[in-house]
Amino acid sequence: MKKPTLSRRAVLRGALGGAAVAIGLPMLDVFLDSSGAALADGSPLPRRFGIFFWGNGVLPPQWNPATTGAGDEWQLSPLLLPLERHKKKLTVVSGMQVKTGNSVPHKSGPAGLLSGTTVQQGGDESFGGPTIDQTIAEQLGAPTRFRTLETAAWRGTGTLSYTGVHASNPAEFSPRGLFDRLFGDGFVEPGSSAKADPKIALRRSVLDAVGDDVGRLSSRLGKVDQARLDKHLSGIRQLEQQLQKLEENPPNLAACKAPAQPLDDYPDTDGRQPLAEVSRAMAAILAMSLACDQTRVFSHWFSYPVNNLLYPGVSAGHHQLTHDEPGDQPQVAKILGYVMTELAAFLDALDGVEEGDGTLLDHLVLLATSDVSYGRTHSLDDYPILLAGSCGGKLKTGLHYRSPASENAGKVIVSLARAMDVSLASFGSGDAKTSDSLSAIEAT
Partner 1 sequence: MRRLLSSLVLAVVAGCSGGDDPAPAPEAPKVAPDIPAQTGLARLTAAQYRASIADVFGTEIVVPAQLEPDVVQEGLIAVGATAASISARGVEQYESAAFKIASQAMKSDAVRARVVPCAPGGPGDAACAEKLASSLGLRLWRRPLSADEVASVRDLTLKAAAVLGDFYKGAELGIARLLQSPYFLFRVGLGEQIDGARRYPAYELAARLSYFLWNTTPDDELLGAAANGALSTEAGLREQAERLLASPRARIGLRSFVTQWLGLGDLDQLSKDPTLFTYYTPDLGPMAREETLRLFERVAFDERGDFRDVFTTRRTSVNPKLASMYEVPAPTRDGFGEVELPWDGPRAGLLGHISLLAQYAHPVSSSATLRGKFIRGRLLCGEIPPPPVNVNTALPEPSGTTRTLRERVAEHLTDPGCRACHFRMDPIGLGLENFDGIGRYRRDDHGERIDPSGDVDGARFADARGLGQALRDDPRTTRCVSAYMYRYATGFLEAYQEEPTIDAVDYAFRASGHRLDQLMLAIALTPAFRLSGDPQ
Show contacts with partner 1 in window 198-257 (CB under 8 A): 198-199, 201-203, 205-207, 209-210, 212-214, 217, 220-225, 227-232, 234-236, 238-239, 242
82 DSSP assignment: G
Q: Which one of 3, 176, 376, 418 is in contact with partner 1 (CB under 8 A)?
A: 376
Q: Return the axis-axis angle of helices 198-218 and 223-246, rounded to nearest 10°.
A: 170
Please report how close the Cβ of residue 349 comes to partner 1 at its closest, in angstroms. 22
**Residue 12 Cβ, how far from partner 1 at the closest point, in Å?**
13
For the CB of residue 183, give the shortest distance to partner 1 in the complex, in Å.
15
Contact 144, 294 (CB under 8 A): yes
Which of 14, 105, 128, 337 binds partner 1 (CB under 8 A)? It is 105
- Find the shortest distance in angstroms from Cβ 259 to partner 1: 20
Binding partner 1 (rule: CB under 8 A), the pick from 249, 252, 308, 341 is: 308
Pairing assessment for the beta strands 69-70 and 90-94 based on DSSP bridges: unpaired
Which residues, numbered 137-196, are part of the site for partner 1 (CB under 8 A)? 147-148, 150, 155-158, 163-164, 166-170, 172, 177, 181
> Within positions 399 to 438, which residues make up the interface with partner 1, using CB under 8 A?
none
CA dist 289 → 66, 180, 181 (Å): 37, 12, 10
Q: Which is nearer to partner 1, 84 or 124 (CB)?
A: 124
- The interface region with partner 1, picked from 100-108, 258-266, 340-348, 415-423 by CB under 8 A, is 100-108
Size of the site for partner 1 (CB under 8 A): 77
DSSP string across 148-159: -EEEESSS----
Q: Is 336 helix (H, G, I), strand (E, B) or coil?
A: helix
CA distance 442 to 417: 11
28 C-beta neighbours (distance < 10 Å), count: 11
Which residue, 308 or 429, is less far from partner 1 as judged by CB?
Answer: 308
Give the amino acid at 326: P
Asked if 413 contacts 427 with a C-beta cutoff of 8 angstroms, the reply is yes
- The helices-and-strands tally (H runs, E runs) of the chain is 10, 14
Nearest distance in Å: CB 322, partner 1: 8
Q: Which of residues 313-352 bind partner 1 (CB under 8 A)?
A: 315-317, 320, 323-326
